[in-house]
Each structure stands twice: as C-alpha cells, then as structure tokens.
Structure 1
C-alpha cells in the first residue's frame, strides 16, 4: 500500500503470542471432542475453526443441515412446554448462579474469546462484564416484568382488566463472530428467563466460545434441551432457523438483516435486529482535549474496530482541529499492537483473511482517490497473518467508499467542521443510525445529542456508556436495525402481551331495558366529562 504518512519510520510495540493457557487447551480439547461425537452440536460435514493469532486450525465443529435445525426445534419445543411452567423464582436462581459462574470462569472465557477472535484481552473482558451484567439485571427484573398487571378499562367498576406476558415459544438467535460471548448468549438470557426456548446459530468462525458459555449455563441448572446450538453456514442453518422460529434475534450486516426480515415477515413473526453502522463522533471546541484524544482512541480501535458501534468518522470544530488531530495521532502511533493473552496489548488482530482484505481494500481505495494516511495504513504480517495497524485518514474525498460504507475495522477519518450545526448535519448524512458520540462540555453535548439520528448517543465516551446503561433500551434507527435490546423492552419483546378482561354486573352496552339512543347520549356525556375533568379511562 502506498501512503503519504511517516509511519514507515515508526514501529508499533510488537507483542507475540505464547503457548495456550493450560486450562484453555484442556477445555478446547473437551469441546472439540463433544463436537465430534455430536453431543453438543449436529453431526455433519466438518468445519475447521481458525485461530487468528497464528492462522492455524484450533478445532472443528459440524456443518449443520436443515434437518438438524428441524430436530433442534422439535427438542426445544418439548423442553419449552415444561420450562414455561417453572416458577420465575427458580429461573431467577439459575441465572444468578450463572452470573457467579461467568465471573468465576472469567479468565477461561477471556482466553477462549481471544483464541477465536484475535482481539486484545481488555476487549475480551468487556464481553465477560456484559454477560454477567445482563444475567444479573434480568434475573432481578424478571418477576416484576412478568407479574400480571391490572389495567384500566373504559368502565372501571364494571370491568376488571389484567395484562399478562406469555412466552412466545422458541426464539431463534443468529449471532456474529466479533463478540462471540456477548452476542452468543446475552440476547438469549432474557428470552430464556421469560420462559422461551432458544435455537441458536453461533458464527462458524467462533463456535467454541458459545459452546463454553452455554456449558456454564447448563451447569447452573438450565435444562439441557432448552437451548439447541446448531453450527453451520448462515445460508443453510440461519435460513432454516428464520423459517421455524417464533421470534428471531439477529446481529449482523444490514444486507443480511433485510433478507432475514423478509423471511420472518412472510410468517408474521417478531424480529429484533442490530445491523450495520457508520458511526460519527463530534468533538466540540469546549471539550477537554487530552481526555477527548484518549476517548476517541478507545471509541475507534477497541476490538480492532470490529464492532457495530465503533466510531469510523470524527468531526472536529475548527478552533481545536489541529491540536486535537496532533494529540489523537500521537496516541494512535503509541498504541501497542500484538498477539497473546497479556493485558498490555491495546489492539489485537483482525479476525480473518476476509476482514483483512476488506480493510486493505477500503484504505487503498481512499488513498488512491486522494486521502492522506497520518497513522497506520499497513498490514503487519510480522505480528500475525491478519494484523493491521490502527489507521487515521484525513482529506478523504467524497467518492472514497469508506466515507459512507462501514469498514468494520481499525480505520477512522477525521474532518474539520466550522461549527457544531455542520457537525450534526454531517453526522446525520447517512443511511445508518446505530451509534454516535459527542465529546464536549455536558451542557453543549446534551444540547446537540438529541439532534443526532442514532439509536444511542454517548457523551464523553465512544459507546460503552450507552451500552452499559442497561436499563435504557438500545437499538438502531434507519437501516441500523429494528427493535431493541436492554431495558424492559429487551425481555418483553420475547413475550406476547395478553389482555384478559372481565365484564361484571352488566354489559358494557348498558342495561337491556335502556334504549340504545339513551345509552349513546349517556356515554357521550360521560366521555365529555372525562375530558373536561382529565379523568383517565
């Protein structure tokens, strides 16, 4: 790749991958053996799983078929009929035990996530925190959320109305490779605790993380048949799940999300999807410059930039543009890059050859069309097959593909703006609306944040603040998704609301002896009085 920066004269700190931790190696052998004999996944054609740190095969699982999915749904439906009658208190206890097991097995889970994805250790730890947080949150909330609730009716004395939440049945889950722990189970937690079964397809590149974390859930007391994991190709297993489930939870690309949406839509089945993003970040002139430079690094390069909510474009007010750019680029150039299971690495590998090719293609296209590389911009095969330096671009022309398309890698472009109004205008100039960020004084940030068309906006943080605000539902606007995860919505979406209303004493149409016109006149007067005195039904 050709570029005009001075990074060829700089070197990132190189860190190399040592041998596998002993417990991780033992767990991988056990999970691989279970996959081979079919006790955890379908017996089928072999799918090799690669470790991105080295590019070597770390194990294999079966390639599920449509028949495997059919059988999985049959088993899950049988289990669900019993599970929905298990008291909520018992379900809660299982997930609180699971919470403790996740924290107890923290290092093993982190190791497995790193092995399958190539991410750095801090990014893998984020997944452990998220799973434990979700399990505890929904375990503590489920009794209140599912408790039958009295609701008002048009004639409170004559009617008694109760709202119930019934489980939907079997939820289908299709999860991606970039967060195999978080997205492999955190969406399943509220579905299960609400009384549903789950048939899940983990990504073929990262199946062992899912196998491991569900193993911990089984050990915590979840009935084994209640969750069915079927590994395999999305076009086979994913399609078969979408054609059979009672609700579909999907995380992945907007293109695939639209296809799955059509599939479940034809069946009038509920659907929740977190899709792509081209997430903007605005830096105001009144921000704390040093704090912002550090925060933007985290926002752009956590998980090697391979997350839907990562920041890919930054708009900086003119008054501080040069100072911010210098501080930011210095921090990027100082990042540690490498493989291994130590905590000192700031950014790990990309996940695969396909990801590397995608990132290289986007950067090469931008540079060929006139963009300038201020940091990074290079493949680093000396560190491992799929390493790519964290990259900063400026002067990105309008016809460069990465101006509007999601890179899903460690690449960000910086742009100068004359004021915050222009920054908001540019932030909204996209078909996506998943995540955004504002670094500014709180008063400034709270003024402009609601004007940004994104499902979540973090202030003085890239994305973790809004993600960790677990009581607040989170989802995408525009082509970035439908429905929400987190909050009450994150559980109730897996239920069917049921209205059960008892009519008492007499018909809501009035006494039989009362003339229809007289009854209509009385009810009309009552409705007018209700409005005048602000009486709710």
Structure 2
C-alpha cells in the first residue's frame, strides 16, 4: 500500500483562539467562517465545534438552530416562494446556467472546503463540483421539457381541450448527508428551485460550511437568498421540525432514519423521496476483461473511502476468472495511495469520523475472528490521519459475519465465487437493499439483459456507478429498503410539482342535450364511444 503523508494546511495571519475560532490551521479565517455561518437561521446562541478528519483540529463553531428557527426559516421561504414561482421558467433556468459557471470558476475553493470538512481525496471532491455543474446545466437546458403545460387527449375530439400543468409544491425540506457535502447539499434542490419551489436545507452537522458556501453561490447566481434557507442542529430535533413544516421532504441517509421520516410525512399526508442504504453487488462474468474489471473494482469499492451509497461492498466473480481477477484486484488495491491531505496524488482519503472508523474496524475484526481472510489492508492507519483505514479485501465471508449483510460504508469489500449467472443474480438480490449494481462482461447486450433481473434502481455495465449517476436524464434511486422516489431526470423534478389537470368543454355539455332523456343520452354516448374506437382515437 502506497502512502501519502498528510499535508499541513496554510496558516492564517495572527493567533486563533481555540475556544472561539480554531480555524487557523486550515486557512479558514474568522471573517470567512463568519460570512458563511451568518446565513444560518439561528437564534439560540449555541454553537457546536466541528473538527476536520484531517488532523482532527476544529474547523469552526457552527451556530445551532431550534425548532422555532426552523419555523422561521419556513416562514421566510414561503414569503419568497410566491414571487419566485411567478418568475419565468427562462429566468430560473438562466440562474442555473450562471450557477454552472460559478461552480467551475470557484472549484478550488469548493474542493478545499469539501476536503477539510470530509477528509476525502481531492479527486473525489472534484467529482462533486463536476456532478453539480452537470445537474445545473441539465435542468436548465431541459426546463421547458419538464415544466411546460402539456396538452393531452380530451374526452371528445375538438369539443374537449385538456392540459396538464406542473405546479410547485411550495417549500421543500432537504436533509442531506456528510459523505458528499457539496453534491447532496444542492443536487436535489436545483430541480426544486427550477420548478418554482423554495427550499429549507439541513446539512449534516459535520459538513455545514460546504452547504453554506453552496447557498452563497446560489445567491451569486441570481437566486433570491430568501428562497434557500439553511438550518443546523441535531437530526431528531431539527429534522423533525423540517418534516413538520415542509410541503415535501427529500432525505438522503440511513434506512432507519428514512423510516422515521416516512412515518412523519405519512402522518401529514405529504410526499417524500428517500435515498437510503445499500449493500451493492458487482458481478464479474466469465467473459469479462479481467484487468479492466479489476481497475473498475478499485473505483467501485474505494472511491470516497467507500463512503458512497452506490459503492460496491459485495463482489461476485465467475469461477473461470476468479483467481486472475483476484490477483489483479489485490495488486491494483495495494498500489493505491492512502492519506489525509489536500494533495491530488491521494487515491483513498480518510473516513469522516471516529464513529465511522469504529464501524469499519468492527466489521473487519468480526469477520476475521469468524474465519474470513484479509487479502490486503485491514488496518487503521493513525500515522496518516486519525480516521484513515486501509482499503480492505476480504475472502471467505459468511452469513454469520456482520459485514455479510449490513452496510459497512467504508473501504471494505467481500469476494465470492459463483458457478452460474443464475446463481450470481440470486445472490446479488439477497438481502433487503436494492440501490446500485455493476455487471462486467464483453457482451454488453447480455449485460443489459442480466441487469433487468437485478433488483436495484440503477445497474451499470462495465462501470461502477458513474455511467448512471453521470447521466442526468436517467433517474437514480433505490428499490426495496434502499428508498422511495428518484433524483435526476424527469422524475427528479416532477417529484417537486403537483400535476394539475385543466379541461375546457366547448359547445355541448357532458350531459343530456336538447331535452334528451338519460336513456337516450346513454345510447348516443355508446354510439360515440364505438365510433371513436373504430376510428382508432384515444
């Protein structure tokens, strides 16, 4: 395993008071942090210190919001939403195109902050910028396709004109996770804004600064600041208040929390979309290009240190290529650079917290204690960073081991042989999750056919997750306990709208005419229906 020594961050001018401003180690001076946190809706006077996974030094003291602050944030957003909804679709789309350019122009600042807050490799942080730019451009360019009033067949040709409007929900509550703090802070809110909604956002406590910088860019792009409110605080308290006030809730996180949110939304009869956990399978078929599959597996498993909802944690390999694949996969894994720094040369960054490190360590130690073999990795590396864990490949994992069916959410994968493709599909579908899958084969038609049999919301052929996640017109989300609803594509914006049908009836009523009896009217109507069917009309 190659190593990358952690880089020390730039130092600000003047001393920093560790009790009130412990940001000097990373070049986040008082005024910069204050400018970001000023956007929070918070009147409690309480703050929480947030530390970087790189070195463990505090980054900032983040003001905390109360349920009353959440209520105020929704009140502000509701006032702003009225005028924002009245803004033309073209003007809303133009703001998103400006956001696209701002993201690319300010990428160094964004990447720096993402890495300081999350500890991820710099290349993984860049992908957040790229994905958001793609999202903003896709929805801006397809705005009319998704939002324009649509004519549909009326009850009677010529006599009935029917159309469907897309009306904004109102104020959307977005609860986003720490693992992709920039992408998840904005990607679900961009279509909500385009559809004419306002947003109240609650980012994870570990990554609030990144979410606040994203909100600042929205304002710079020309989106009225009151339409995007940010609150911060404990999930049960602040998240619960969001569910209590929102017209729609978008949540990304654990399945357990998703169930709580779904129950709260059901009680209020509001909609929600939930992207939840996964134990994602990768299938390497007997005709796969072994070296290409091994390279893809390193990205599939170890991108973002495995802290990615669509990353692979179960790897099923055909008998015919198993040994060759394992040799190539282990070799590539051992060649990856590991560290916690802002350096572009790092392949696998840090886990985000002690809690995440504890989960990964527990899963590996439990598997080894029960007979699994570590082919490479398996160790915590405090010499490189407080939460750095080596990319780990396990063999011989069985159902009695914790990592067999539970989501690890770290740089750990289990290898399994399979004898037939039917067996591989069956094992891939085992368990309760169904978020993402990957199939590797030289016969892409066969790969696509096999994909239809895998119970996952997205399946990538000869790629890990980027092919579907980067195709913005393709919906992304989970089946079974991996969630409800979809982001991206038409479904990603239509979830934030109400479908409103408007029909105009001309000349004659849909009722008996000219003193006609109900019986005669029924006969006339029957004749008309037969004629329409004969003419092949809808």
TM-score interval, smaller chain:
over 0.9
1:506 is matched with 508
Contact 1:35 1:41 in 2 (8 A): no
Which whole-Å deviations, capped at 9, do the CAs of 1:7-42 have from their partners, x for residues lacking one?
Answer: xxxx53233223249899565533422366x44341
SS class of match (1:209): helix
The verdict on how the C-alpha distance between 1:382 and 1:257 changes in structure 2, with shifts beyond 3 A counting, is same
Give the 5 Å matches for 1:7-46: 11-20=1-10, 29-34=30-35, 38-44=38-44, 45-46=46-47
SS class of match (1:479): helix
2:458 is matched with 456
Give the 5 Å matches for 1:257-336: 257-336=258-337
**Take 1:530 and 1:307, find their aligned partners in 2: how far apart are those partners?**
53
**Take 1:274 and 1:316, find their aligned partners in 2: how far apart are those partners?**
28
**Take 1:272 and 1:40, find their aligned partners in 2: how far apart are those partners?**
24
**Take 2:27 and 2:318, find their aligned partners in 1: how far apart are those partners?**
53
Contact 2:301 2:313 in 1 (8 A): yes
Contact 1:392 1:414 in 2 (8 A): yes
**Take 1:401 and 1:523, find their aligned partners in 2: how far apart are those partners?**
65
How much does 1:515 deviate? 2.1
1:3 is matched with none
**Take 2:178 and 2:8, find their aligned partners in 1: how far apart are those partners?**
23
The verdict on how the C-alpha distance between 1:39 and 1:330 changes in structure 2, with shifts beyond 3 A counting, is closer
How much does 1:511 deviate? 1.1
How much does 1:444 deviate? 2.4
Which residues of structure 2 form unaligned runs of 5+?
13-23
1:63 is matched with 64
Contact 2:28 2:59 in 1 (8 A): no
The verdict on how the C-alpha distance between 1:28 and 1:234 changes in structure 2, with shifts beyond 3 A counting, is farther
Out of 213-222 and 168-177, give the one that drifted further. Answer: 213-222
Give the alignment partner of residue 496 of structure 2, picking from 494, 497, 506: 494
Which whole-Å deviations, capped at 9, do the CAs of 1:214-247 have from their partners, x for residues lacking one?
Answer: 1111111111111110011111111100111000
**Take 2:26 and 2:58, find their aligned partners in 1: how far apart are those partners?**
13
1:519 is matched with 521
The answer to whether structure 1 residue 411 and structure 2 residue 412 are counterparts is yes
2:156 is matched with 155
1:198 is matched with 199
Question: After TM superposition, where is structure 1 displaced by more than 4 Å over at least 4 residues in a row?
Answer: 21-28
Q: What's the Cα RMSD here?
A: 1.6
Contact 1:314 1:414 in 2 (8 A): yes
1:534 is matched with 536
Which whole-Å deviations, capped at 9, do the CAs of 1:53-89 have from their partners, x for residues lacking one?
Answer: 1111011111211011011011111111111111112
Give the 5 Å matches for 1:375-390: 375-390=376-391
**Take 1:336 and 1:25, find their aligned partners in 2: how far apart are those partners?**
22
**Take 1:157 and 1:330, find their aligned partners in 2: how far apart are those partners?**
69
1:343 is matched with 344
The answer to whether structure 1 residue 484 and structure 2 residue 489 are counterparts is no
Which whole-Å deviations, capped at 9, do the CAs of 1:284-331 have from their partners, x for residues lacking one?
Answer: 010111100000110000000001101000000101111101110111
SS class of match (1:205): helix
Give the 5 Å matches for 1:233-248: 233-248=234-249
Contact 1:338 1:383 in 2 (8 A): yes
1:6 is matched with none
Contact 1:277 1:406 in 2 (8 A): yes
Q: TM-score, normalised by structure 2?
A: 0.95
The verdict on how the C-alpha distance between 1:323 and 1:401 changes in structure 2, with shifts beyond 3 A counting, is same
Equivalent residue pairs, number: 525
The verdict on how the C-alpha distance between 1:430 and 1:145 changes in structure 2, with shifts beyond 3 A counting, is same
**Take 1:39 and 1:252, find their aligned partners in 2: how far apart are those partners?**
24
Contact 2:378 2:389 in 1 (8 A): yes
Contact 2:310 2:435 in 1 (8 A): yes
2:426 is matched with 425
Out of 145-154 and 466-475, give the one that drifted further. Answer: 145-154
Q: TM-score, normalised by structure 1?
A: 0.95
SS class of match (2:510): coil
Contact 1:114 1:121 in 2 (8 A): yes
How much does 1:521 deviate? 2.1
Contact 2:36 2:213 in 1 (8 A): no
SS class of match (2:206): coil
The verdict on how the C-alpha distance between 1:28 and 1:148 changes in structure 2, with shifts beyond 3 A counting, is farther
**Take 2:122 and 2:431, find their aligned partners in 1: how far apart are those partners?**
32
**Take 1:279 and 1:463, find their aligned partners in 2: how far apart are those partners?**
10
The verdict on how the C-alpha distance between 1:13 and 1:26 changes in structure 2, with shifts beyond 3 A counting, is closer
**Take 1:409 and 1:510, find their aligned partners in 2: how far apart are those partners?**
68
Which residues of structure 1 form unaligned runs of 5+?
1-10
